[in-house]
Structure 1
Amino acid sequence: MKQIISMDQRGLLFRDGMFQKILGPGRYSVGNFLGQRTIAVYNVADEFLPLHKLAVLLEHPALKQALDVIEVADDEIVLLYEGGNFKQALKSGLHAFWKSGIKREYKSYKTTDVELPPAINSQIRDHEALKAVTTVTEVPSFERTVLIINGQVERLLEPGKYYFWQSPINVHTKSYDVRQQQIDLSGQEIMTKDKVTLRLNLMCQYRVVDPLELYKNIKEYKEQLHIVLQLILREYVGNLHLDELLEQKDQIGGFVVARLRERCLGWGLEFQSAGIKDVILPGEIKTILEQVLQAEKRAQANIIRRREETASTRSLLNTAKLMQDNPLLFKLKEMEHVEAISQNITQLSLNSPEPLGEQLARLFAARQPVE
């Protein structure tokens, strides 16, 4: 039986399972001639991955001379380049490649450095072959990310893409949204100073301005912020009577923001605004307040009506005084009334020989009281 080895191949000759020599391109016989002869064929373009243990085969000087042997430590990654182009990443262990016309270059990097060095460009970083030995963290424009290495805060990652070696070193990241955020307290049941229990809905707007301080000082900051807001709201409402609260509810925003800045100093948060969205009263209190409001509105309406009546009476009195002191004005006013009355009369019969004007004046004139 013949075995053909082509130009881009190499063969290993074994006799009775023992390595004998390297075979170059050509035609070879295999079989039971002078012992069991077998030939293992390998492509020189690929990594040498024998069926036998590599370290044992490398004890043969001829084979070791024909191979590029690379030993990668546990804290290393070796990048293989062929013809100047990245080919693959070699993990810890023993690796071998056939010496041939292919120009190979091996670059070693310490994984204890955690981040990939700038010398590895973006095309190589995103290469499919490198994904098996790296992890990627991408920080969007609206976030900031805290980098933690072996439990210690290392630094703050600005928006961008970051690559880390996979290694026993524990690399962890914590991201924070730095856009304006809002926290809502809904249905908070609180008792006022005069023992009235009501429900409040509060909103507060804030922003993360120092993610490093926030990570170092506060765990689960949203939950803690929720509790602090509850306490501040109870402090404000508990010191006011119901009437005072309803009158001053627009002032609670400033009070809450000021208290938050005091209590959350060093959290890395910036508090921008706060305010009451709803005040929900008990049914009986709501009914009483509606009755009070209706009574106040009726009282206001009565005051306005009396004011208008007084003004009208004062105007009539002034007119009467003017007519009393001025007969001509009285006569003109009298003729105005005659004109107004005449507009509603369709037919009028006068039988006196007196002039028409005198008869009409006497007809509509007010009767003077007899002294």
Structure 2
Amino acid sequence: MPFLFTIALAIAFLGVSTVASAIKVVNEYERGVKFTFGKFTEVMPPGLGVVVPFVQTWERVDMRVKAVDVPQQESITRDNVTVSINAVIYYKVRNAERAIIEVERYQYAVRQLAQTTMRNVVGEVDLDALLGEREKISQQIRQIIDAATDPWGIEVQSVELKDIILADDMQRVIARQAEAERERRAVTIQAEGELEAAENLAEAARRMSGVDGALHLRTLQTLRGISSDDTNLVALPIPMEALRTLERLGEDLGERLEASDDSDGGGHATEDEEDEGTAGDPGTLEEGNADGAWPDRSPGDAPEFAPSRREEPSERDASERSSSSAS
């Protein structure tokens, strides 16, 4: 009797355990893929499900979005620059059946596919594009991975490049390049500002010149500004009419000097001709000197001396003797 009771108790316990193991709980964010004798049967929805022991098996699939870190790896860009880059991928399972049947360990497969795709895409772009167009490159990687994982029932939602690490010498080169670019922009902006200021100043001068009293008012404003500063500068206001008068006087004086220079040049030419005409006739020259008929000269001309007759030695001795006897 006790032996039969023990057997019955064991059978009851085995039955309860079998029934308990057959009942499965599927969470809201999960799906259960059921197989009967190794053949796909159904996808179990959230709630209670029954899996017959020794006859059926099942796989639990998480349908939430997953984040997968892509390990840091070295890649070579199109312009032969070595960079170390890592990323993170966000994906989710859309079809639990295909995620279990079409690929083994879909998490590992997605990670490996992301590594190779990222390396290939980085090798097709330049360093400048990699640093300046990270969003575009991330989108390109996402599209490639999503197209490859679509048969697995997996949707890649986004890919984010985390760190792009360069060698120390390349970092120094990029820093110098950035500094030169900033200096170029500063010079360009300064030149554009000076050009705009000059254009505005020219326009203001043009408008003020057409309004009576505008220049005087501007002059008074400038003097007031100078006097308000703590400086030792003394400003003497000069009317614009006086400046214009001085300008006209300067122009008139310049014209007169030019006319005087022209007339002086003609007079010298006449004197040269007269000198050439009289150089061969000493008698004519002496008559001209006696009569006082010298050519006209302007006050500014240099004095000219008429050629004198050379005295003979006898005449010079006679004049010396007469002067000594007179003394």
| Bucket of the pairwise TM-score, normalised by the shorter protein | 0.5 to 0.7
Which ranges of 4 or more aligned residues in structure 1 deviate by more than 6 Å?
A: none
User: What is the distance in 1 between the residues matched to 2:227 and 2:128?
Assistant: 61
User: What is the distance in 2 between the residues matched to 1:303 and 1:204?
Assistant: 42
Deviations 1:239-281 (A, max 9, x none): 1121232333211233223222332242111222223233222
What's the counterpart of residue 178 of structure 2? 293
What's the counterpart of residue 30 of structure 2? 143
Deviations 1:14-41 (A, max 9, x none): xxxxxxxxxxxxxxxxxxxxxxxxxxxx
- How far residue 317 of structure 1 moved from its aligned partner, in angstroms, is 3.4
Quick one: which of 41, 52, 65 aligns to 1:180? Answer: 65
Quick one: which of 99, 103, 109 aligns to 1:214? Answer: 99
User: What is the distance in 2 between the residues matched to 1:50 and 1:309?
Assistant: 108
Quick one: which of 196, 199, 209 aligns to 1:314? Answer: 199
Matched residue count: 240
Structure 1 residues 345 and 144: CA distance shift in structure 2, 3 A: closer
User: What is the distance in 1 between the residues matched to 2:150 and 2:230?
Assistant: 88
Structure 1 residues 159 and 324: CA distance shift in structure 2, 3 A: closer
Residue 78 of structure 2 aligns to a residue whose secondary structure is coil
The code of the aligned residue for 1:206 comes to: Y
User: What is the distance in 2 between the residues matched to 1:230 and 1:252?
Assistant: 14
| Larger Rg over CA atoms | 2
What's the counterpart of residue 279 of structure 1? 164
User: What is the distance in 1 between the residues matched to 2:189 and 2:230?
Assistant: 38
The code of the aligned residue for 1:364 comes to: P
Residue 60 of structure 2 aligns to a residue whose secondary structure is strand
Report the TM-score, using the length of structure 1 for normalisation.
Answer: 0.56
Q: How does 1:48-63 map to 2 (within 5 A)?
A: 49=4
The code of the aligned residue for 2:40 comes to: V
User: What is the distance in 1 between the residues matched to 2:230 and 2:48?
Assistant: 98
Quick one: which of 244, 260, 285 aligns to 2:145? Answer: 260
Quick one: which of 223, 232, 235 aligns to 1:338? Answer: 223
The code of the aligned residue for 1:146 comes to: V
Give unmatched runs, 5+ long, in structure 1. 1-41, 55-79, 81-87, 92-127, 347-359
Structure 1 residues 320 and 213: CA distance shift in structure 2, 3 A: closer
Report the TM-score, using the length of structure 2 for normalisation.
Answer: 0.63
Please state which structure has a larger fraction of its residues in helix.
Answer: 2
Give unmatched runs, 5+ long, in structure 2. 251-327
Please state which structure has a larger fraction of its residues in strand.
Answer: 1
User: What is the distance in 2 between the residues matched to 1:345 and 1:241?
Assistant: 59
Structure 1 residues 364 and 160: CA distance shift in structure 2, 3 A: same
Quick check: 2:51–2:58 contact (8 Å CA) kept in 1?
no
- How far residue 203 of structure 1 moved from its aligned partner, in angstroms, is 2.2
